[in-house]
Structure 1
Amino acid sequence: MSEMRTSLLGAALVAIGPITMALYTPAMPVLAEAFGTSQSMIKLTLTAYFAGFALTQLICGPLTDAFGRRPVTLAFLVLYLASTVVATFAPTIEWMIVARTLQGIGASVGVAVSRAIVRDQFTGQTSARIMNTIAMMLAIGPALAPTIGGVTLELFGWREIFWAMLIYGVVLLVVTQVAFRETNPYIDRANLRPRVLLHNYATLLRDPRYMQPSMLVGFGIGTIYTLASVLPFVLIDHVGLTPSQFGFGMMVQSGSFISGTIVTGFAMRRVDAIRLLPFGMTGMVAAAAALLASLSLFPPTFLGVMLPVGAFAFSLAMSLPSVTSAALQGFPRMAGAASALMGFLQFGAGLLGSLIIAALGNPLLGIILVPPAMLFIAVASYLLLGRVNARRVAAAGQG
């Protein structure tokens, strides 16, 4: 497929996961009343989605290595549509939890396949450019979707939010059927054998060339998803925004990320993407410190929360293209597994962050402690694994 088609298809596929997660968040405070249940049970629907999405990554990627990217994508999208119908008409909170779990499983194909089809066809700066486009959608989804979800909730109701997901899923299924050309040149069903599967993942987990960028991507994007789970309660319950105001307020995050990807795109015309990474990581650490200081020292305000979040989103956008390409570059025969493990790390980090915040029982305390800690871990792990990789290369050179 051409660079343009790969960019657009990859962006559309990768967006389904974060859109399905974040479109729903403005309705979470309302759903407790609608189902006659507690906020903890409503938060469990988001946790169930995270779990289905993150865990399925680990099998979805190898499935695309074994059977091809296209047929696996179509099958998972059909599951996504069926589960969205169940969620739309869910009569109880238990049905909603089941539907959200299945939605997460179906949507997991987007992240795994979008990166793999880039690795199948492109390397270097071309790969980084496409990853920049895909990264834009990966972060715009959870940032822009609450705006749409909040407006839909106020104009219509919570069930119509799932109708919006259903429409997106149908359009994506049709586009995939028509425009997706198989890109995997190494289709091999042996990739699904348990021994091969475990060997592939063990190879990736032991290799600092893979883990160094993947940890930065995982905890960086995981912070986006953790914020999506806690910001509705902070901005609506503590700051006092309405659901629609919250949705529009989240455009600070999406606008900052879009700005970051635009700046990164222009910069990559002059310099290699990797040279932008130090600026991105420095910005992420500064944003984490600003969020921690703002909410620790002053009462919560919209600007006190969203200015650091916007700075983080801009900085993350500068970091993603180079590290995403670097993580996948050395593993052409297991690109699906490599992409899937990266997706597992980012949604696993998001799930872990959300669970810790839920366990704390205080959204304000959670946003003060957890997202900044995740960003510090992202940058620290990149620097430490970089040293491990450098020592490994030096030892190999001496040998």
Structure 2
Amino acid sequence: MKPELIKTALILGLLSCVGPFAIDMYLPAMPAMAEDYGVPTAMSQYTLVSFFIAFGICQLFYGPAADMFGRKPPLYFGLVLFLFASVGCALAPTIEWLIALRFVQGIGAASVMSIPRAIIRDRYTGTEATRLMTTIMLVVSISPMLAPLVGSLLMEPFGWPAVFYGVALATLASLMLIRFALPETLPESARTPIRLGAMFDAFRVLLQDAYFMGMTLIGGMAMASFFSFLSIAAFLYTDYYGLTPTQFSLAFAMNALGFFVTSQFAANLCERFGGVPVVKWAVAGFALSALLNLLLNLLGVDDFAVLVGLLLLGNGFLGLVVPTSMVLSLDDHGPIAGTAAALGGTLQMMLGAAAIGIVSAAFDGSPLTLVVAIATCGVLAALLFMCVLRRSPQLATS
């Protein structure tokens, strides 16, 4: 890969880690948080729901803002807001305050979800864009492997509020990267005028595009699968399987390993076979591995190694689905890449937030809720490919 691509990938990958770090780093602290505040498990899970709702919806505003003002100003705004909200979370006197501040944190974190995708589209398309996206995913996928471990190491000597102070420090580093290492990729001559009509026109075009919507929703099923795991993993692994916070962090890292490894092959596979076939076979593999996990659970196989192994396999297939579907969804929408990335991110985050709410409400303390949720996501992703995307011209010629 060219040195310029590597530099861009590292910068955008580190920026894209801000949101995941705010999620993954404090997962080991959720049981202790609920205990400190004296609230039920479900109340601590609402801190995830409120974050994801804001994280998803606010991308709708950052995307058009990035098309109107350039890529860097909205990033500055979002990260500064995220920084102050992180400190507020550490000082929250009640769980209700923490839920509200997590919502504010999500508003800020939304900026680094959609805008990096638009920056990629500003400079690259096709295989080169996929290669850059997968390299970013390499950086991002390190987050789920390291963030919970870092969170548990901070939490044990200093308590769970230290996790949010750690996130605040990471945000400061991100602001420095934007200021000194990230160039503006959207020149003034290419910026969209500040008109609500233009924004709604862009949304209408995107919502009517079966190819864009199909690829976005397939990626959304992948997100919903992972968020289902996020919502109950700490309680399932520590309460049901008896893991310590540090052991949970290490087990959690295994779920990122499959994604980490396979995402690095996405660009080469797309170059050889095409992006659409890669998504098709990867979705099929994800659905089959998830259904196998469900079948074994229903047959009475309740083994931690089997559960983690099949989750590792499923996430391996998602390592091909997520970056490839992101690139494919934006290919035809260069002039409104920021808006397209924002709408796609919002739809995916909303699916993730819905999955968290449903899984948290249905969780009975056993692995069954988790394997049912992930199998449902796999089947829906496969049905989307067969029933929705098959109608688009792009698939007909793939």
Using structure 1 for the length normalisation, give the TM-score: 0.92
Match of 2:169 in 1: 167
Match of 2:147 in 1: 145
Residues 306-325 of structure 1: matches in 2 within 5 Å?
306-325=308-327
Aligned residue type for 2:283: M
Deviations 1:221-263 (A, max 9, x none): 2311221111112111111111111101112112211111234
TM-superposed deviation, 1:321: 3.1
Match of 1:370 in 2: 373
Distance 1:143 1:363, change over 3 A: farther
Deviations 1:178-214 (A, max 9, x none): 11211124212335x1x32222112111101211211
Aligned residue type for 1:97: I
In 1, Cα distance between the equivalents of 2:142 and 2:78? Answer: 22
Match of 2:198 in 1: 196
The answer as to 2:332 corresponding to 1:330 is yes
Q: Percent identity?
A: 28
C-alpha contact (below 8 Å) 1:63/1:72 kept by paired residues: yes
Deviations 1:315-340 (A, max 9, x none): 11122333221100111121111111
Unaligned segments of structure 1, at least 5 residues: 395-399
Secondary structure of the corresponding residue to residue 37 of structure 1 = coil
Larger deviation, residues 384-393 vs 66-75? 384-393
Aligned residue type for 1:22: D
Distance 1:392 1:166, change over 3 A: closer
Distance 1:232 1:299, change over 3 A: farther
Aligned residue type for 1:328: L
Distance 1:171 1:51, change over 3 A: same
The answer as to 2:344 corresponding to 1:355 is no
TM-superposed deviation, 1:268: 5.5
Aligned residue type for 1:320: V
The answer as to 2:73 corresponding to 1:44 is no
In 1, Cα distance between the equivalents of 2:224 and 2:338? Answer: 20
Secondary structure of the corresponding residue to residue 93 of structure 2 = coil
Distance 1:138 1:338, change over 3 A: farther
Report how many residues are paired: 392
Match of 1:111 in 2: 113
Distance 1:139 1:206, change over 3 A: farther
Unaligned segments of structure 2, at least 5 residues: none
Larger deviation, residues 25-34 vs 132-141? 132-141
CA-atom RMSD in angstroms: 2.1
Secondary structure of the corresponding residue to residue 392 of structure 2 = helix
C-alpha contact (below 8 Å) 2:289/2:310 kept by paired residues: yes
Distance 1:346 1:389, change over 3 A: same
Which one of the candidate residues 286, 289, 303 is aligned to 2:305?
303
The answer as to 2:75 corresponding to 1:73 is yes
Using structure 2 for the length normalisation, give the TM-score: 0.92
Match of 2:386 in 1: 383
C-alpha contact (below 8 Å) 2:137/2:260 kept by paired residues: no
Match of 2:292 in 1: 290
Residues 201-280 of structure 1: matches in 2 within 5 Å?
201-264=203-266, 267=269, 272-280=274-282
TM-superposed deviation, 1:2: 3.4
In 2, Cα distance between the equivalents of 1:201 and 1:363? Answer: 41
In 2, Cα distance between the equivalents of 1:187 and 1:390? Answer: 29
Distance 1:228 1:286, change over 3 A: same
Secondary structure of the corresponding residue to residue 29 of structure 1 = helix
